[in-house]
């Protein structure tokens, strides 16, 4: 496959996955116009996809992070030719930016996961209904399932960005 066709394939797939994310957002916000905790509308139901062998169950946040990561990773591959033109120092700065993002998202993911686990041990109940309001200035509490999965997607996206830049550096 030539470079132009490959790039077009990456951009088409990236657009497709980004569009699926927008469909999920539209569906969730129209089905649940209000929520008592941020992100609750993304975890209140499961979408089922029956197949001949198995019926798959996904919460909207799970599909959102899968398609969001695919949008990011496939989109980066489509931009490879342009990223290769960035001077070495610029690519190193972008790598540092991704590294900082990965550090922050890893910290947030671990913190929320540990708080989620602690709340479950202390209070029990349905894991999807656990939320917190650590910052009293926040107008609404945040659902642990939602925010933990969102931080995980951002972490993996930053790590893939680091891998992508590292791969470009090794090809030079």
What is the DSSP secondary structure assignment for residue 79, as one 8-state letter? T
**Considering its fold, how many domains does the chain have in total?**
1
CB 74 within 8 A of CB 10: yes
CB 26 within 8 A of CB 64: no
Residue 19 φ/ψ region, left for φ over 0, alpha for ψ in the -120 to 50 degree band, beta for the rest:
alpha
- Residue 99 lies in domain: 3-171
Longest dimension (CA), the chain: 57
Q: What does the pLDDT profile of the chain (172 residues) look like in tens digits?
A: 788 999 999 999 999 999 999 999 999 999 999 888 889 999 988 988 898 999 999 999 999 999 999 999 999 999 999 999 999 999 999 999 999 999 999 998 888 888 888 888 887 777 777 777 766 777 888 888 898 899 999 999 999 999 999 999 998 6
Phi then psi for residue 43, to 5 deg, are: -125, 5
CB 45 within 8 A of CB 60: yes
Angle at 100 between CA 98 and CA 102, to 5 degrees: 65
Query: pTM, whole model, 2 decimals?
Result: 0.88
User: Measured between alpha carbons, how far is residue 34 from residues 22, 23, 25, 42 in Å?
Assistant: 18, 18, 13, 11
Residue 131, C-beta contacts closer than 8 angstroms, at least 6 positions apart? 37, 38, 40, 141, 142, 143, 144
Nearest alpha carbon to residue 27 among 68, 64, 70 = 64
How confident is the model at residue 47, as a pLDDT? 87
* Structure tokens, 17: 């996955």
């Amino acid at each position: 496959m030539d470079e132009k066709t490959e790039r077009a394939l990456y951009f088409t797939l990236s657009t497709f996955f980004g569009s699926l994310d927008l469909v999920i957002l539209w569906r969730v916000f129209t089905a649940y116009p209000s929520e008592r905790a941020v992100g609750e509308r993304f975890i209140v139901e499961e979408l089922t996809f029956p197949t001949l062998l198995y019926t798959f169950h996904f919460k909207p946040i799970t599909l959102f992070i899968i398609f969001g990561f695919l949008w990011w990773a496939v989109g980066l591959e489509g931009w490879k030719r342009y990223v290769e033109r960035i001077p070495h120092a610029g690519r190193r700065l972008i790598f540092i930016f991704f590294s900082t993002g990965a550090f922050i998202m890893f910290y947030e993911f671990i913190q929320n996961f540990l708080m989620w686990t602690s709340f479950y041990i202390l209070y029990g109940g349905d894991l999807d209904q656990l939320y917190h309001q650590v910052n009293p200035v926040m107008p609404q509490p945040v659902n642990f399932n939602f925010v933990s999965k969102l931080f995980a997607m951002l972490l993996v996206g930053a790590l893939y960005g680091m891998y992508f830049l590292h791969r470009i550096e090794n090809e030079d």
